[in-house]
Structure 1
Amino acid sequence: MKEIKNHNWELKTETDYILEPPRGALPVHIITGFLGSGKTTAIIDLLNQKKSDDQWAVIINEFGKASIDTQTVEKATENQNIFDISGGCICCSAKAFFQLDLEEIVNLQKFSRIIIEPSGLGGIDMVTEIVAKIPQLALLPVICMVDITLLNNERLQMNFLYKNQISKADYIAFSKCDTLIDSEIVALLSKFESKFPNKTIVDKSQLLKLICLENQPEKIRSQLHLLHSQNKESQDNNFRKKTLTFEPETIFDSEKLSTVLKSYPQLLRAKGYIRTENGCQLMNYTLSGCSFENHISENQNEILLITEQVENDFFQQIETEIKLAILTN
């Protein structure tokens, strides 16, 4: 890949892309990435930037049963065309629901584009194969979101699924660059390129141009060899999940809860709409930290936990500690 000297990236390629979606075909964009990489935030930005009369269908897949990301997108945008698939990955256990949603979107004949957010624990190969089976759809290059602040996290860098998502994607878009200074970004980019050479990196702010083919001299082609990969993923069995549900009047100490979550290295992701001392909030824990954002009050108070394979008593142990972060009950 061409050298990148700062984080104001441009779309960079070594070859000319040659294919547009076939005339009349519905373009499909997969925005993949590991847990907490910024997929949902990127989709929210895209929906808020697109033309108001442009109808996009969005398929959001969550490994847990709670539709937290779907609710987040609905609250942050005016887009009501969201198809939610929860409780399994669309690359394996939930693929039948995924195909049905795609067929329904095609039959409705009112959308100009489909955006797919697979679960952070999902693979790409089977997703692209399902899209390819529907002749009215045209798969465009896969975009993978990567949290740039975690490029020094050795545990994550050794994760097969994380590496596979990056390797199979056509474009890489980094999140959380605004938390770093230029010299840190340059150093991390160099490290990334040494592990994943010849990947095309785009600025997250350019995703709308990339998706809508606006002001681009090159035309986009999808890497069709992805559809014939012999290394198909089925990831549900490699991870465990549990949803903790609390009474609506339960209030958490946000600082104590954050400390508890950070103390468990086996924990890959935690999220949920909960009540804290600051009111109703969306709690979002990733390997890079824990954040709390205010949201409109609803009768929800639950936390989804996602881990790698752990001992049988792990969830009982962490639930006990999470309850110690409760202020009132």
Structure 2
Amino acid sequence: MPSYLRGIPTNIVTGFLGAGKSTAILNLLKEKPEGERWAILVNEFGEVGIDGGLLEASGSGEVFIREVPGGCMCCTAGLPMQMAMNMLLARARPDRLLIEPTGLGHPLEVLSALATDHYQTLLDLRATLTLVDARKIKDKRYTQHSVFNEQLTVADIIVASKADQYQTTELDQLKAYLQQKGLLTDRQLVTSRAGDLAV
């Protein structure tokens, strides 16, 4: 394995549908140090709504995007995901890798795929970021959904996204929900406004 493909800093950016993952990634790209090559692995473009801004950034020669064909990345965490990942890494030779599973995907399966021997030396798994829109915490369709709760469970950092769009009471409700689930004892909770995010 070439030395340029070892220990690539890697973050998973997950979150339920509409949590602001693509916006957060676009903002991360704005902070990318000049000269660094970044790679982004996403589900099929139509599935996650990769917008024109992200595709435009990929034309710079420093940002490379690869989609995982065949639906949900977690469901295809076998061969299709591995093939897409390997092709992306070989082509991009990135300084950083961002992985954005679909909002309804099971991130545990993605993490399991990345924990295999093949990726142990290739990737340096950093924080898994889970974006949550605090306004949704009152909606049982979210809080009773197994994927929503799994995304929170795998997070190293929980990001209260779109904080500029809701009230302090809604953020307090999110904190109370996370405390009730025991998710704030070993996880950091941060807020994000208009997609600003730092990793």
TM-score (normalizing by structure 1): 0.51
Q: Which of the numbers 72, 76, 79 marks the counterpart of 1:96?
A: 79
Q: Deviations over 1:92-141 (max 9, x none)?
A: 23642221122223334631010000011111222122222223112112
Distance 2:8 2:152 in 1: 25
User: Structure 1 pair 114/167, CA: closer, same or farther in 2 (3 Å)?
Assistant: same
Matched, 1:202 2:190: yes
1:176 partner amino acid: K
8 Å contact kept, 1:67–1:86: no
Matched, 1:83 2:66: yes
Structure with the greater alpha carbon radius of gyration: 1
Distance 2:153 2:75 in 1: 19
8 Å contact kept, 2:127–2:157: yes
Mapping 1:140-159, distance limit 5 Å: 140-159=126-145
Q: Which residue of 1 aligns with 2:149?
A: 163
Shift of 1:191: 3.6
Shift of 1:40: 0.7
User: Structure 1 pair 107/74, CA: closer, same or farther in 2 (3 Å)?
Assistant: closer
User: Structure 1 pair 66/190, CA: closer, same or farther in 2 (3 Å)?
Assistant: closer
SS in 1 for 2:82: helix
Paired residue total? 186
Q: Which residue of 1 aligns with 2:55?
A: 74
Q: Which residue of 2 aligns with 1:35?
A: 17
Shift of 1:70: 5.5
Flag structure 2 segments of 5+ consecutive residues without an equivalent. Answer: none
Distance 1:89 1:61 in 2: 6
User: Structure 1 pair 153/196, CA: closer, same or farther in 2 (3 Å)?
Assistant: farther
Q: Deviations over 1:141-169 (max 9, x none)?
A: 21111111101112211111111111121
1:155 partner amino acid: R
Flag structure 1 segments of 5+ consecutive residues without an equivalent. Answer: 1-22, 212-329
SS in 1 for 2:99: strand
SS in 2 for 1:46: helix
Mapping 1:1-329, distance limit 5 Å: 24-62=6-44, 68-69=49-50, 71-75=52-56, 80-93=63-76, 95-108=78-91, 110-133=93-116, 134=119, 135-197=121-183, 198=185, 199-204=187-192, 207-208=197-198, 211=199
Distance 2:158 2:55 in 1: 25
**Identity of paired residues, percent?**
29
TM-score (normalizing by structure 2): 0.80
